[in-house]
Amino acid sequence: MVLEKLNQAEIVSLLGGIYEHSPWVAEILFTQGITSQDNDLYFLADRMKKIVDASSEKIKLSLLQAHPELAGKLAISGNLTKDSTAEQASAGLDQCSKEEFAEFSKLNFEYTKKFGHPFIIAVKDLTRAGILTSFKERINNGNQTEFETAITEVHKIAFLRLKAL
């Protein structure tokens, strides 16, 4: 697909879900201008990353808050985006035991209460046990460290989604 030939609606339709429930990233990308360079995965990913990084802390927090909990209520009810469903299933989060689900639920609650957004990690190539270990470690981070870590993870997820496109 040749991105520079697409109109705004097509760009937003194609790239609007790269950052979870945040089509504004694709909208800004379009308004900044699409060139043939944007057909390169790494160039496009970097441009989208820079748009997010240049946004205010409030907008970044909204971006983090747009992400679902891991093995959370939306996953159980089947209300995740197609991308989030596939990502969580790839790590086996759709096959949690009762004990694992209880642990995820407890950690999700504590983490969101502490940081104001859900725990975010790029789950590709991770196991449930590895995710839980990271969860338990990161919940002890300070607010700024965890905010920056979560944004970094969001960028990893966005890159993987672009790559899959």
- Statement to judge: residues 84 and 33 lie in one domain: no
Q: Which two tokens stand for residue 79?
A: 């209300």
- Statement to judge: residues 90 and 129 lie in one domain: yes
Catalytic residue among 21, 67, 117, 155: 67
pLDDT at residue number 128: 87
- Statement to judge: residues 95 and 33 lie in one domain: no
Average pLDDT across the chain, whole number? 90
The DSSP result for the chain, as a single string, is --GGGS-HHHHHHHHTTSSTT-THHHHHHHHH---GGGGSHHHHHHHHHHHHHTS-HHHHHHHHHTSPPTT-HHHHHT-S-HHHHHHHHHTTGGG--HHHHHHHHHHHHHHHHHHSS------TT--HHHHHHHHHHHTTS-HHHHHHHHHHHHHHHHHHHHHH-
- Statement to judge: residues 49 and 108 lie in one domain: no
List the CATH number of the domain containing 89: 1.10.3330.10
At residue 50, what is the residue type?
K
- Statement to judge: residues 37 and 76 lie in one domain: no
- Statement to judge: residues 12 and 34 lie in one domain: yes
Higher-confidence residue of 10 and 127: namely 10
Of 45, 61, 77, the residue that ends a domain is 61
pLDDT at residue number 74: 45
- Statement to judge: residues 77 and 57 lie in one domain: no
- Residue 82: band (very low, low, confident or very high) from pLDDT cuts 50, 70, 90: confident
pLDDT at residue number 92: 72
- Statement to judge: residues 51 and 73 lie in one domain: no
| pLDDT (tens digit per residue) in 125-162 | 888 889 999 999 999 999 999 999 999 999 999 999 99
Q: Which two tokens stand for residue 105?
A: 């639920």
The stretch 104-127 carries a mean pLDDT of 94
pLDDT at residue number 39: 97
- Statement to judge: residues 48 and 104 lie in one domain: no
21 is catalytic: no
- Statement to judge: residues 84 and 53 lie in one domain: no
List the domain range (segments joined by +) for residue 143.
69-164
Report how many domains make up the chain: 2
